Structure 1
Amino acid sequence: MLKKYTIVSLLLLLCLSCKKDLNRSDKKVLEKNRLSYVDPFIGTGGHGHTYPGATVPFGMLQVTPVNGISSWDWCSGYHYSDSIAVGFSHLALSGTGIGDLADMLFMPVNKEVDLSRKPASRDELAYKSEYSHNNETASPGYYQVYLEDHNVNVELTSSERTAYHRYTFKQNDLQTIVVDLGFAINWDQAIATAITVEDEHTISGYRFSKGWARNQKVFFTAKFSETISGFNSFADGQEIDSNSAEGVNTAIQLFFKGNLSSEVEVKVALSSVSIENAKLNLDTEEFNFDDRRSEAEASWNQALSKIAVETDIDSLKTIFYTSLYHTQLAPVIYSDKNGEFRKENDSIVRANNFTAYSTLSLWDTFRAEHPLLTLIAPERVPDIINSMLAYYETNRILPVWTLYANETNTMTGYHSIPVIAEAYLKGITGFDAESAFEAMKTTMMQDARGLEQYKKHGYIPYNLLDESVTITLEFAYDDWCIAQMAKALGKDDDFKFFNDRSKAYQNLFDHKTGFMRGKSEDGKSWNEPFDPKFSSHREHTDYTEGNAWQHSWFVPHAVTNLAQLHGGNDLFTDRLEQLFTESSEITGDNISADISGLIGQYAHGNEPSHHIAYMFNQANKPWRTQYWSRHIMNTQYNTSPNGLSGNEDCGQMSAWYVLSSIGIYPMNPASTEYEIGSPVFETSTINLTEGKTFSIRAENVSNENIYIQSATLNNEPFNKTTITHEQILNGGTLHLVMGDQPNTNWGKNQ
Structure 2
Amino acid sequence: MIKKHLILVLVFTLFFSCKKDYKTTKKLVKEKNKIDYVDPFIGTGGHGHTYPGATVPFGMLQVTPINGISKWDWCSGYHHSDSIAVGFSHLALSGTGIGDLADILFMPTNKEVDLSMASSSRDSLPYKSKYNHNNETATPGYYQLFLEDHDVNVELTTSKRTAYHKYTFKKDDTQSVVIDLGFAINWDTAIESAINIENDHTISGYRFSKGWARNQKVFFVAKFSKPITKHHMFVDGNKKGEQTSEGTKTSTQLFFDANNTQELLVKVSLSSVNIANAKDNMRDGGFEFDTIKKEAEADWEKALSIITVETPVDSLKTIFYTAMYHAQVAPVTFSDKNGAFRKENDSIVIAEGYTAYSTLSLWDTFRAEHPLLTLTAPEKVSDIINSMLAYYETKKILPVWTLYANETNTMTGYHSIPVIAEAYKKGIKGFDAEKAYEAMKNTMMQDERGLNHYKKHGYIPFSLLDESVTISLEFAYDDWCVAQMAKALGKDDDYNFFLNRSKAYRHLFDKETGFMRGKSVDGNSWNEPFDPKHSNHREHTDYTEGNAWQHSWFVPHAVEDLAQLHGGNDIFTQRLEQLFTESSEITGDNISADISGLIGQYAHGNEPSHHIAYMFNHANKPWRTQYWARQIMDTQYNTSPNGLSGNEDCGQMSAWYALSSIGLYPMNPASTKYEIGSPIFEKATLNLLGKKTFIIEAEGVSNENIYIQSATLNGEDFNQTSISHQQIIEGGRLHFVMGNTPNKNWGVD
The alignment's TM-score, normalised by the length of structure 1, stands at: 0.96
Q: Which segments of 5 or more consecutive residues in structure 1 lack a partner in the other structure?
A: 1-21
Task: Give the deviation of 1:120 after TM superposition.
Answer: 1.7
CA distance in 2 between partners of 1:720 and 1:223 (Å) = 59
Q: 1:24 to 1:384 in 2, by over 3 A?
A: farther
Equivalent position amino acid for 2:522 in 1? D
Counterpart CA distance in 2 for 1:159 and 1:137 is 19
Counterpart of 1:375 in structure 2 is 375
Partner of residue 101, structure 2: 101
Alignment of 1:378-527 (within 5 A): 378-527=378-527
- 1:60 equivalent in alignment to 2:60: yes
> 3-state DSSP class of the match of 2:33?
helix
- The 1-side partners of 2:201 and 2:258 are apart by 13
In structure 2, distance between residues paired with 1:380 and 1:258 = 45
Deviation at 1:119, TM superposition (A): 1.0
Structure 1: distance between partners of 2:365 and 2:482: 18
How far apart in 2 are the matches of 1:667 and 1:703?
Answer: 24
Q: Which residue of 2 aligns with 1:530?
A: 530
Query: What per-residue deviation string (whole Å, max 9, x for no partner) do you get for residues 262-316 of structure 1?
Result: 0000000000000000000001121111111000000000000000000000100
Which residue identity does 2:524 align to in structure 1?
A: K
Counterpart AA for 1:505: Y
| Deviation of 1:31 (Å) | 6.2
Q: Within 5 A, what are the aligned runs for 1:252-651? A: 252-651=252-651
Question: Which one-letter code corresponds to 1:683 in the other structure?
Answer: K
**Distance (whole Å) between structure 1 residues aligned to residue 285 and residue 696 of structure 2:** 43
**CA deviation profile, 1:417-445 (whole Å, cap 9, x unmatched):** 00000000000000000000000000000
**Separation in 2 of the partners of 1:695 and 1:565?**
38
> What SS class does the counterpart of residue 574 from structure 2 fall into?
helix
Q: Indicate conservation of the 8 Å contact 1:204/1:275, yes or no.
A: yes
How far the C-alpha of 1:33 sits from its partner, in A, is 2.7
SS at match of 2:277: helix
Instruction: Give how far 1:187 is off.
Output: 1.6
Runs (5+) with no aligned partner, structure 2:
1-21
**CA contact under 8 A between 2:63 and 2:89: conserved in structure 1?**
yes
- Whether the 8 Å CA contact 1:614–1:677 is kept in 2: the answer is yes
Q: Which amino acid in the other structure matches residue 273 of structure 1?
A: V
Deviation of the 1:197 alpha carbon: 0.4
Q: Conserved in 2, the CA contact under 8 Å of 1:68 and 1:86?
A: yes
Q: Cα deviation per residue 1:348-395 (whole Å; 9 max; x = unaligned)?
A: 010000000000000000000000000000000000000000011121
Give, in whole Å, the separation in 1 of the partners of 2:545 and 2:32: 40
Aligned to 1:16: none
- Determine the structure 2 residue equivalent to 1:683: 683
Query: Which residue pairs with 1:47 in the alignment?
Result: 47
| 3-state secondary structure, aligned to 2:177 | strand
Code of the residue aligned with 1:504 in structure 2: it is A
CA distance in 2, matches of 1:504, 1:273: 43
Match of 1:654 in 2: 654
> For 1:690 and 1:33, how far apart are their aligned partners in 2?
23
Amino acid at match of 2:216: Q
Q: Distance in 1 between matches of 2:121 and 2:355?
A: 39
Q: What residue in structure 2 maps to residue 189 of structure 1?
A: 189
- Aligned counterparts of 2:691 and 2:27: Cα–Cα separation in 1: 17
Deviations 1:210-245 (A, max 9, x none): 000000000000000011101001000111111000
Q: 1:225 corresponds to which residue?
A: 225
One-letter amino acid of the structure 2 residue matched with residue 740 of structure 1: N
Counterpart of 2:13 in structure 1 is none
Maintained 8 Å contact 2:33/2:301: no
Letter in 1 for 2:642: N
- AA aligned to 1:36 is D
Deviation at 1:29, TM superposition (A): 7.3
Query: For the structure 1 residues 24 and 725, does the alpha-carbon distance in structure 2 shift closer, same or farther, using more than 3 Å as the test?
Result: farther
Q: Could you give the per-residue CA deviations for residues 611-636 of structure 1, whole angstroms, max 9, x where no partner exists?
A: 00000000000000000000000000
Give the CA deviation at 1:258. 2.2
The answer on whether the counterparts of 1:49 and 1:74 sit within 8 Å (CA) in structure 2 is yes
Query: Could you tell me how far apart the structure 1 residues matched to 2:483 and 2:27 are?
Result: 46
Q: Deviations over 1:51-98 (max 9, x none)?
A: 000000000000000000000000000000000000000000000001
**Deviation >4 Å, runs of 4+:** 22-32
3-state secondary structure, aligned to 1:380: helix
**Letter of the aligned partner of 1:565 in structure 2?**
L
Q: 1:555 is aligned with what amino acid?
A: V
Q: Give the TM-score normalised by structure 2.
A: 0.96
Partner of 1:730: 730
Q: CA RMSD in A?
A: 1.2
Cα pair 1:533 1:548 within 8 Å, conserved: yes
| Distance across 2 between alignment mates of 1:372 and 1:670 | 13
CA contact (8 A) 2:182 2:250 kept: yes
Superposition deviation, residue 24 in structure 1: 13
Q: Distance in 2 between matches of 1:603 and 1:295?
A: 39
Equivalent position amino acid for 2:561 in 1: N
The residue that corresponds to 2:744 in the other structure is 744
In structure 1, C-alpha distance between the alignment counterparts of 2:382 and 2:285, rounded to whole Å:
30
- Closer, same or farther: CA 480–23 of 1 in aligned 2, 3 Å: farther
Partners of 1:170 and 1:477 lie apart in 2 by 60
Work out the CA distance in 2 between the residues paired with 1:374 and 1:148.
45
Letter in 1 for 2:138: A
Alignment partner of 2:363: what SS? Answer: helix
| Cα distance, 1:259 vs structure 2 | 2.6
Give the secondary-structure state (helix, strand or coil) at the position aligned to 1:209.
strand
**Counterpart-to-counterpart distance in 2, 1:419 and 1:532:** 31
Contact 1:331 1:650 in 2 (8 A): yes
Instruction: Write the distance in 1 (CA, Å) between the matches of 2:216 and 2:652.
Output: 25
CA contact (8 A) 1:712 1:735 kept: yes
Aligned to 1:112: 112
What CA deviation, in whole Å up to 9, does each residue of 1:20-48 have, x standing for no partner?
Answer: xx999999976653111000000000000
Residues 24 and 433 from structure 1, CA distance in 2 versus in 1: closer, same or farther, beyond 3 angstroms?
farther
| Structure 1 pair 391–23 and aligned structure 2 pair: CA distance change class (3 A) | farther
Partner SS for 2:318: helix
1:140-289 equivalences under 5 Å are 140-289=140-289
> For residues 24 and 373 of structure 1, do their structure 2 counterparts lie closer, same or farther at Cα, with a shift above 3 Å needed?
farther
Query: What SS does the corresponding residue of 1:379 show, helix, strand or coil?
Result: helix
**Amino acid of the residue matched to residue 443 of structure 2?**
T
Name the structure 2 match of 1:10. none
Aligned 8 A contact 2:623 2:707 in 1: yes
Determine if contact 1:327/1:655 at 8 Å carries over to the other structure: yes
1:690-728 alpha-carbon deviations (Å, 9 max, x no partner)? 100001000000000000000000000000000000000
The 1:451/1:717 distance shift into structure 2, 3 A limit, reads: same
The code of the aligned residue for 1:690 comes to: G
For residue 5 of structure 1, what is the aligned residue in structure 2? none
8 Å CA contact 2:42, 2:640 repeated in 1: yes
Conserved? CA contact 2:172–2:259, under 8 Å: no
Shift of 1:526: 0.3
SS at match of 1:269: strand
List per-residue Cα deviations over 1:722-747 (Å, max 9, x = no partner): 00000000101000000000000000
Q: Which amino acid aligns with 1:495?
A: Y
1:133 and 2:171 matched: no
Show the counterpart of 2:88: 88
Same amino acid, percent of matched pairs: 77
Greater shift after overlay, 164-173 or 29-38? 29-38
Q: Contact between 1:191 and 1:209, CA under 8 Å: does it hold in 2?
A: yes
Query: Counterpart of 1:647 in 2: which secondary structure?
Result: coil
- Asked whether the 8 Å contact 1:193–1:247 carries over to 2, the reply is yes
8 Å CA contact 1:226, 1:258 repeated in 2: no
Work out whether residues 31 and 301 of structure 1, in 8 Å CA contact, stay in contact via their aligned partners in 2: no
